Structure 1
Amino acid sequence: MTTAPRLGPMRIRYLLLHAYGMGGTIRTVVNQANAMAAAGHRVEIVSVVRRRDRPQFPIDGRVRLMALSDQRGGRPVDSLARRAWRRVRGKIVPAGEFAASYFTERVEKAVIDYVSALDDGVLVTTRPALNLIAARRAAPGVVRVAQEHMNLATYPDGVRAAIARHYGGLDTVVVLTEADRRAYERLLPGTPVVRIPNAVHGAAPPPSWQEDRLVVAAGRLVGQKGFDLLIPAFRQVVDRHPDWRLRIYGTGPKKDRLRALIRECGLRDNVTLMGRTDHLDEELAKASFYVLSSRFEGLPMVMIEAMTQALPVVAFDCPTGPRDLITPGIDGLLVPPQDVDALAAAMIRLVEDRDLRDRMGAAAAVTARDYSPSVIMPVWERLFADLLGRDPGNPGNPG
């Protein structure tokens, strides 16, 4: 991405729940903020809470980082007062929002106060809780752009009802996949909904040579990621090819349960929970293919990163994401959602066919080019410029 501002500098603020944490949404938003700063825009990342001393992902020095609620000394909790506040005043963040527990009266008020005080530029919010606050409390002079990083169908009924009722107050809703674009358009007639996939990081990672008898998966150790389905599926691989190994990268609350499952399946020599790594590119380069076993997704960024390294992919055809990325039989294999036997059969097919891995890996690297920053970031720039009412050929002053 060019470092010269092509549209004139814009003021862009990204509002994240916890910019100091780990996770795909945090990483992709930080990458986007870094790219916008590199393009000459005035960029801030605003973290609702702060529970660590330093961010886990590198943030460009030109990006201003601030937090609304510093919780490094412990979470400010007054359960009785919080229950009374929710009963008497209600709250913008619906109870079914996956991060609702973060939004005590104090935290939600801090976000409302921050959003209400803005009077210019672009405010990009990154989950339903924050999107709803922006829709209901941001001033008319602020361009309100909601990013949805998870597919609509995964939200509880109360969250979808709040989205239907209030997202019309946003200027644009940005989703990751075509399936979600259609779903949000049906729910929000008259509200602009656009698809802009996340971009992978800008560095050119090393390609895999598909020589090691190694399969890689990555993600939070939570039920969504389906590692409890992947492990028994890999047992079928090992039954036929006992020299193949599976490495799962990530941390999370299901770690002990997954370790027990590995023992139950007799896979202690073949499956390893690797924990977190700061060098996933290097680990992917050692693998022969990548597997995604999720029950649902938004847009699986680690899978795209694997594809940039010429790794073919085996994935459940879960809602949403994998089908937007993979052309079955060309750059990967899709199998029915949560079908353990089908996942095992697809992995065995790649294990037993090195030529197929090579062909699919080469095609995967071509597919991944569509998700490079040089392709994705200009789309964001044009969207912001259009919403600010500026002619890209005559940028003028920031909004």
Structure 2
Amino acid sequence: MSGTLARARRKAREEARRAALRLLRAINARRARRAPAPDTATVRILLQHAYGMGGTIRTVLNLAGHLARERDVEIVSVVRTAKEPFFPIPPGVRVSFLDDRTGRRGPLARLLSRLPSVLVPRQENIHRAVSLRTDLLMVRFLRSMRSGVLISTRPGFNLITALFAPPGVITVGQEHVALDMHAPEVVRLIKRRYGRLDAFVTLTQTDLEHYRRALKAPPGRLLRIPNAVTALAGDISELDEKVVIAIGRMVHAKGFDLLVKAWKPVSEAHPDWVLRLYGRGRPEAERRLRARIEDAGLSDTMLLMGSSPEIGVELARSSVYVVSSRYEGFGMTILEAMSKGVPVVSFDCPHGPGEVIVHGHNGLLVPGRKPAALAEALNRLIEDRELRRELGANAVLTASGYGLDTIGARWDALLAELGDGRPVGDGHQLFDQL
């Protein structure tokens, strides 16, 4: 009996889903007949948390600032958990919030916030950070749009945008990690829905090739545009300070547990050098990392510095930048270090470091997840001041090719193409596959 009841419930849910999709398709078809001409003068960027800290937030703010030079730009933050932004908001950029969690909320909002999201896949990293309330707020926002460009910045938002953005809105998805880092369930949805986006942008050439192979029905435009590096406070490093620096959130992907293992032999060989780690994490993650450092006897030479809004100044006071990541979407901090003339030692992890670092030219690459190899490369740079200077000088030249004007021009060109008489989708293709 229970099996029969379960099957009946699944059938009822499927019928309700199909009915809702038929209704949405009909609404989209009606909207398409009234859709205005493509508008690229108005850009909205869907971001998880505009007031938080992290590489994606920083690079999205950089992009928004560039686009705001000639366009009306608004960052739509799905959630708000801080009163003030960690990074400064660029001039001309507005920020709005869908789910503001900094104030009091009514009983219905509290109830919906306790229920899990049904639109963001359970296997997506942000699933626990969103809820049924954020689902409803995102859908309401999307359906309220009539024209303009919408740039979404992570798989969960790309999937929702592909499904609910109405005709008349130009949709651009971004990938800030990599296709092969996503769970199989998320990849299946990506393959089925990303073809509905007008454009999709990866950060690396490797990831672009992966998407080309995976998407049997690709978006209208599938291309690579790397992140841009902006001018940071602080001078070019003299590379004389006995300081190695690492930057990142305290999460598994950043591999700081591997960095502890790598730093121990370096510290034993060079006890007058220190490793300063800038970043934050959940309290339990910070406690675990601090305990690892203490257990390794590195409390005096591996220092947890917390977060810093002026990371350029800290980079200017260092002589080596180290990356211990298990994987990177691009590695924005690598370019930031290079912009200060700081040579980089990095695991050759998927996918970003190897596309920026040329081994022996502007940094050193070592096999991924090999702390002993990372330690050997660090010792090499610590002991060879002239090599540091040579790699650092080349690093500055590398970073100059990723300036905001250069990268921003590629976004300008993409938006120009999307707005150049492009026929607006009529919504009929929207539900071919779910």
TM (normalized to structure 1)?
A: 0.91
Q: Distance in 2 between matches of 1:64 and 1:279?
A: 23
In structure 2, the CA distance between the partners of 1:243 and 1:188, relative to structure 1 (3 Å rule), is same
Alignment of 1:60-75 (within 5 A): 60-73=90-103
CA positional deviation for 1:101: 1.8
Report the secondary structure of 2:173's partner residue. strand
Give the Cα–Cα distance (whole angstroms) in 1 for the partners of residues 111 and 320 of structure 2.
48
What is residue 86 of structure 2 aligned with on the other side? 56
2:41–2:72 CA contact under 8 A, matched in 1: yes
2:171 — aligned with what?
A: 144
Question: What's the offset of the Cα at 1:315?
Answer: 0.2
SS at match of 1:371: coil
Output aligned runs, 1:89-238, within 5 Å: 91-191=118-218, 192-203=221-232, 205-238=234-267
Please, which moves more after superposition, 196-205 or 39-48? Answer: 196-205
Q: How far apart, in 2, do the equivalents of 1:100 and 1:221 lie?
A: 19
Q: What amino acid sits opposite 1:356 in the alignment?
A: L
SS in 2 for 1:334: strand
Is the Cα–Cα contact under 8 Å of residues 114 and 131 in structure 2 kept in the other structure? no
Q: Take 2:137 and 2:145, find their aligned partners in 1: how far apart are those partners?
A: 13
Deviation at 1:154, TM superposition (A): 1.0
Q: Which runs of 4+ in 1 moved over 6 A?
A: none
Distance of aligned partners of 1:249 and 1:81 in 2 relative to their CA distance in 1, 3 Å threshold: closer
Q: 2:287 is matched with which residue?
A: 256
Determine if contact 2:232/2:312 at 8 Å carries over to the other structure: no
The 5-angstrom pairing of residues 4-15 of structure 1 reads 10-15=41-46
Partner Cα distance (1:11, 1:127) in 2: 20
| Structure 2 unmatched ranges of 5 or more | 1-38, 423-434
The one-letter code matched in structure 2 to 1:231 is: V
Please give the alpha-carbon distance, in whole angstroms, between the structure 1 residues aligned to 2:124 and 2:388.
40
What is the identity, as a one-letter code, of the residue corresponding to 1:220?
R
Partner of 1:278: 309
* Root-mean-square deviation over aligned CA pairs: 1.8
Q: Which moved more, 1:278-287 or 1:318-327?
A: 278-287
Q: Secondary structure at the match of 1:78?
A: helix
> 1:293-308 counterparts in 2 under 5 A?
293-308=324-339
Partner residue in 2 for 1:375: 406
Measure the CA separation in 2 of the matches of 1:221 and 1:80.
26
Deviation at 1:202, TM superposition (A): 3.5
Q: Distance in 2 between matches of 1:195 and 1:12?
A: 19
Contact preservation (8 Å) 1:22, 1:56: yes
Structure 1 residues 61 and 365, CA, compared in 2 at 3 Å: closer, same or farther?
A: closer
Task: Encode CA deviations 1:328-372: one digit per residue, 9 max, x unaligned.
Answer: 111111111100100000101111111100000000111111111
How many Å separate the matches in 1 of 2:341 and 2:328?
22
Deviates most, 315-324 or 196-205? 196-205
2:100 aligned partner, one-letter code: D
Q: How many residues align?
A: 377
**C-alpha deviation, 1:113, in angstroms:** 1.2
Q: Which residue of 1 aligns with 2:367?
A: 336
- Contact kept in structure 2, 1:317 and 1:323, CA below 8 Å: yes
Offset of residue 203 of structure 1: 4.5
- 1:223 deviates by 1.2
1:245 equivalent in alignment to 2:286: no
Query: Residue 369 of structure 2 aligns to a residue in which SS?
Result: coil
Higher helix share: 2
8 Å contact kept, 1:9–1:42: no
2:188 partner amino acid: A
Distance 1:80 1:273, change over 3 A: closer
Q: Report if the CA contact (8 A) 1:77-1:104 is conserved.
A: no
Whose radius of gyration is greater, 1 or 2?
A: 2
Post-superposition Cα deviations, 1:188-207, rounded to whole Å, max 9, x if no partner, equal 13413210001112457411
Q: Aligned-pair distance for 1:103? A: 2.9
Q: Distance in 2 between matches of 1:163 and 1:32?
A: 24
Higher alpha-carbon deviation: 183-192 or 266-275:
183-192
1:60: Cα distance to partner? 2.8
1:309-320 equivalence runs, <5 A: 309-320=340-351
Aligned partner of 2:389 in structure 1 is: 358
